[in-house]
């Protein structure tokens, strides 16, 4: 059974694992069950493209999760590898970056959640660094997406690059927060 550190992490896992038809979109119905000492989250629903029933079952970690957009506590994910987090961070940061460049600064607050999500994904990669090592080992990459990203450029998973990515993403987030919301903007 998959172990998720938070519902946020469970949702990302489901997003990363589309239906056989290729669609990741399904009506997620959610319930919690008690299985012995474990709390289990069950998500199921029909794929919006082909109608197949999709079902995911996660044992929820005992540690109380940090608030979103964090995916989990101090331990690395057991269900999403660093390459998958890198893929998500790159995709969202590129999209948000383009939007930031093409919108007035007064509207940057609308992209805050996307940038915060990117920060959280970058921070997750650091959790895969073993103590005293300067790069994430190849063995940490377990998904096809993750292995492919690592093969393309293993240097992107060096400590200095990862820390720089977190620092840069946090700086973008700080700039958005500094600009603030216009008084009439919805919260």
Sheet-wide strand order for 2-4: 2-4, 53-60, 38-46, 29-35
Question: What phi and psi values does residue 114 have, to the nearest 5 degrees?
Answer: -65, -40
Q: Domain extents for the chain?
A: 2-60, 82-179
Each residue's pLDDT expressed in tens, for the chain with a length of 187 residues:
999 999 999 999 999 999 999 999 999 999 999 999 999 999 999 999 999 999 999 999 999 999 999 999 999 999 999 999 999 999 999 999 999 999 999 999 999 999 999 999 999 999 999 999 999 999 999 999 999 999 999 999 999 999 999 999 999 999 999 988 766 666 5
Q: Which residue stretches of 63-111 are H helix?
A: 82-101
Coil vs helix vs strand at 47:
strand
Residue recorded with tokens 């660093």: 82
Contacts of 124 (CB under 8 A, 6+ apart): 71, 72, 76, 77, 80, 82, 85
Q: What is the pTM of this model?
A: 0.92
Domain boundaries 2-60, CATH class: mainly beta
- 112 and 175 in contact (C-beta within 8 Å)? no
């Amino acid at each position: 059974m998959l172990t998720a550190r938070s519902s946020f992490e469970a949702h990302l896992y489901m997003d990363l694992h589309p239906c056989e038809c290729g669609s990741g979109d399904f009506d997620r119905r959610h319930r919690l069950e008690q299985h012995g000492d474990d709390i289990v989250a069950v998500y199921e629903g029909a794929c919006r493209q082909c109608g197949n029933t999709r079902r995911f079952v996660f044992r929820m970690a005992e540690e109380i999760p940090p608030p979103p957009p964090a995916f989990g506590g101090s331990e690395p994910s057991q269900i999403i590898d660093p390459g998958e987090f890198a893929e998500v961070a790159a995709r969202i940061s590129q999209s948000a970056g383009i939007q930031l460049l093409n919108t007035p600064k007064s509207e940057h607050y609308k992209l805050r959640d996307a940038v915060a999500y990117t920060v959280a994904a970058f921070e997750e990669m650091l959790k895969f660094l073993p103590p005293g090592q300067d790069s994430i080992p190849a063995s940490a990459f377990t998904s096809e997406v993750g292995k492919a990203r690592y093969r393309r450029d293993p240097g992107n998973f060096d400590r200095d690059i990862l820390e720089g990515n977190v620092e840069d993403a946090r700086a973008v987030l700080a700039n958005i927060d500094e600009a603030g919301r216009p008084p009439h903007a919805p919260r």
